[in-house]
Amino acid sequence: MSTGKKWYQDAVVYQIYPLSFMDANNDGVGDIEGVIQKLDYIRDLGATAIWFSPLYPSPWKDYGYDVADYKAIHPAFGTMEDFDRLMAECRKRGIRVIMDMVLNHTSDQHPWFRAALADPKSKYRDYYIIRRGRKRLGKLLPPTNWTSCFTGPAWERIAGTDEFYLHLFAPEQPDLNWENPAVRAEIADVLKFWLDKGVSGFRFDVFNLWSKVWPLRNDRHPLRVQKGSNFFVDGPRMHEFLRELNTNVLSHYDSYTVGESYMPDPEHAQRYIHAESGELDSIFDFAHLTSDNLLGLKFFPKPFSLRQFKRGLFDPQIRYFDTGWNTLVLENHDNPRSVSRFGIPARYRYEAATLLAAITFLGWGTPFIYQGEELGMTNADFRSLDEMRDPVSHFVFDTMTKQFHMPAGIARRFICCGARDHARTPMQWDDTVNAGFNTGAEPWQCLNGNWREINAKRDLASDKSVYRFYQRLLAFRRENPAALGGAVREYHPADPRRVIYAREGEGRRFLVMANFSAHETLCRVPDDFDPARLRVALSNAGRERVMRSMLLRPYEAVVLEERGE
C-alpha cells in the first residue's frame, strides 16, 4: 500500500494561471508580485504546492503554452529576481513550486525556430519537423493529412518554399523533433536549470505527443476525428524518452512529475506511472470530465451521466493503486467551471462545490485545485465571442460556421458550453473595482459578471463558505491516514444519483456519501459499517446525526468517520 512516503503523496497542489490570478502592478495581467501577496491565502487553504501555468517569455498566442525562452520569466510577470523572491516566500510557508513544461512544441518566436527558418543549413532546422509538401495535380499539399488539436491542418507552409512545419496545436506552436538527441539534451538542460533553482517538479504539457511514428504518413482511417492521432499519441519512443529524462535528470533530484496526457491508451497510461517503469510519478486522467460531453469533445454537450463520471473518477484509483500514484482533478485552465456543469442547477452552487470537493479530493491521489474552484467560481456569461480571448474558441467557431455552415448563434452556444475562457476570467477577490484583481486597468480577459456576489471576501464571511469547507476537508485529509494512503471501495457504481465510497488504511476507515441530484434521496450506510460507530466529520448541510438510512438533501454530501473500538 502507498503509505505517503514520497512528499507529493501528501501534497495538495493549487494551480495558478498567472495571467488571471492577481495583478499587483495594475497593468491588466497578473504577476509574480500579485502571487506573493496571496500566498497566505493559498497556505491557509491547506495547499502545500503551487503549479504555475507557464511563466516564461511568450508572445501569448496560446497564453504561455507557446514558450519563447524556457529559462526566463515573462517581463509582464516580473523578473527572475522576482521569481527567486517568490520561491523564498513559498519556502517560508512550506509551499513547493511545480513548473509547467511545454515540451511538445515551442513558440514560433523561440530563437531555435527563428534560426531554423532563417537558414536552411542551420542545425536548428532539425530541432523541428520540417518536410517538403506533396504535389498533387499541380497543387502543393501538406506532407500528411494530419489535423491539429486546435482544428485545421497540422502543417504550415514556410513562406516562399515548398516546405511545411508540423504544429499539432496553433500554427505559432511548431512541434519539436524529439528524435533529435540535441533537442533532448536541450530539454534535459532546461529541467536541470529549474531544479537547481529549487523547484520541486514539473507538469509536462501534452507529454504523450512527443514521439511520432516515422516515417510520417497519411492517416487512412476514414472516420477518425483527429486525423493522424494514431501516429502521434503514445508514439513508439514515448517510454524511452521519459526514462531518458529520468536517468539523466529527474532521478538526481527529489522531484515530482505529472504528465498531462492527450487521449492516452490505458495500457500506456499504466506504464507511464508504474512505479517500476522509471517514467512519470503520475498523469492526469480526465475521463470523468467527459461525462457531460460527446466523445470528450468539450463543445458538444450531452446529458450528464453520473455513472460515467464515477467510472472515470474511481477507475484510476483502483487501477493504479499499489503500482503508481494518482491525481484528483475537477478543474484546470482548459475546462469550464465544475459547478456550472454536470447538470447542476445554479441555485445549488454552494452544495455542489462542496459535494464535488468531497467526492473528489478525499479519494486516492494528489488533489489539484484550480484557482477560484475553492470559491465555487462559475462559468462566465459571455455576451459575444469578442469577450473571449482563447484562440481555440475562435478557431472552433470559424470551423463550425465556415466549414460546417452552422448559424453563428448556434455555434456560439456550443462554444460557450466548453470554452476554456470560463476558467480564465480574473480571480474574484473582493467587491472593489475589478473584483480586487487590480486597481482599475482593464483586465486582459473580462471579469465574470457575478464578481460582486461571488468573491473571496464575501465567501469567507459567509456561513456557506466554500473556502472554509475546503479548509476543513483538506485538514481532515491531512490528519487521517486512511485519506492519504487508504484503499478505495466504491458502493453502487451504477447508481445514477448516489456517490458512496469508503477509504480504509492503517486501521482507520471513513465513508463519503453524497446525493448528486436535485431531489431528496435516501442513502443507506453500507452494511459493513455500524452507524453507531460513525461520527460526522464533514457535512455541507449541517448534519450531525448518523443513522443507517438518511434522507440526503439535494447535493448534500457527508463524510462519516469510524471511531475506534
Size of the site for ligand GLC (CB under 6 A): 9
Q: Which residue, 50 or 206, is less far from ligand GLC as judged by CB? A: 206
By the rule CB under 6 A, 99 interacts with ligand GLC: no
Query: What residues between 241 and 280 interact with ligand GLC by CB under 6 A?
Result: 260
By the rule CB under 6 A, 206 interacts with ligand GLC: yes
Quote the least distance from Cβ 130 to ligand GLC, whole Å: 20
Q: Which residue, 174 or 485, is less far from ligand GLC as judged by CB? A: 174
Residue in 205, 285, 292, 334 annotated catalytic? 205
Q: Which residue, 423 or 512, is less far from ligand GLC as judged by CB? A: 423
Phi/psi of residue 123, each to 5°? -65, -20
Q: Which residue, 241 or 348, is less far from ligand GLC as judged by CB? A: 241
Phi/psi of residue 499, each to 5°? -120, 115
Distance spanning both ends of the chain, measured CA to CA = 24
By the rule CB under 6 A, 169 interacts with ligand GLC: yes
| Separation between Cα atoms, residue 273 and residue 250, nearest integer Å | 14
- Scan for cell 493522424, then name that residue: 228
By the rule CB under 6 A, 175 interacts with ligand GLC: no
| Separation between Cα atoms, residue 524 and residue 502, nearest integer Å | 13
| Separation between Cα atoms, residue 360 and residue 186, nearest integer Å | 37
Residue in 260, 351, 373, 490 annotated catalytic? 260
Residue nearest ligand GLC, Cβ-based: 65
Q: What is the DSSP string of 168-199?
A: SS-TTSPBB-TTSHHHHHHHHHHHHHHHHHT-
Out of 23, 31, 156, 205, the residue judged to bind ligand GLC by CB under 6 A: 205
Quote the least distance from Cβ 332 to ligand GLC, whole Å: 7
Contact flags string 340-369 toward ligand GLC, x per CB under 6 A: ------------------------------
Quote the least distance from Cβ 104 to ligand GLC, whole Å: 7
Quote the least distance from Cβ 308 to ligand GLC, whole Å: 22
How big, in percent rounded to 5, are the helix, strand and coil portions of the chain? 35, 20, 45
Out of 334, 459, 556, 561, the residue judged to bind ligand GLC by CB under 6 A: 334
Quote the least distance from Cβ 56 to ligand GLC, whole Å: 12
Q: Which residue, 73 or 209, is less far from ligand GLC as judged by CB? A: 209
By the rule CB under 6 A, 62 interacts with ligand GLC: yes
Q: What is the DSSP string of 191-243?
A: HHHHHHHT--EEEETTGGGS---SS------SS-SSTTHHHHSS-TTHHHHHH
Q: Which residue, 329 or 362, is less far from ligand GLC as judged by CB? A: 329
Q: 13-48 burial by CB neighbour count: b if 16+ within 10 A, else e?
A: bbbbbbbbbbbbbeebbbbbbbbbebbebbbebbbb
By the rule CB under 6 A, 65 interacts with ligand GLC: yes
Q: Which residue, 421 or 504, is less far from ligand GLC as judged by CB? A: 421
8 A C-beta contact, residue 188 and residue 249: yes
Q: Is 562 assigned a catalytic role?
A: no
Q: Is 390 assigned a catalytic role?
A: no
| Separation between Cα atoms, residue 474 and residue 459, nearest integer Å | 17
By the rule CB under 6 A, 47 interacts with ligand GLC: no
| Separation between Cα atoms, residue 140 and residue 142, nearest integer Å | 7
By the rule CB under 6 A, 102 interacts with ligand GLC: yes
Quote the least distance from Cβ 396 to ligand GLC, whole Å: 13
Quote the least distance from Cβ 431 to ligand GLC, whole Å: 30
Report long-range pairs for 456-460 (Cβ below 8 Å, ≥24 apart).
Answer: 456/41, 456/375, 456/427, 456/428, 456/429, 456/430, 457/429, 457/430, 457/431, 458/430, 458/431, 459/375, 459/376
Classified as helix, coil or strand, 531 is helix
Residues with catalytic function: 205, 260
Residues lying near ligand GLC in the complex (CB under 6 A): 62, 65, 102, 169, 205-206, 260, 333-334
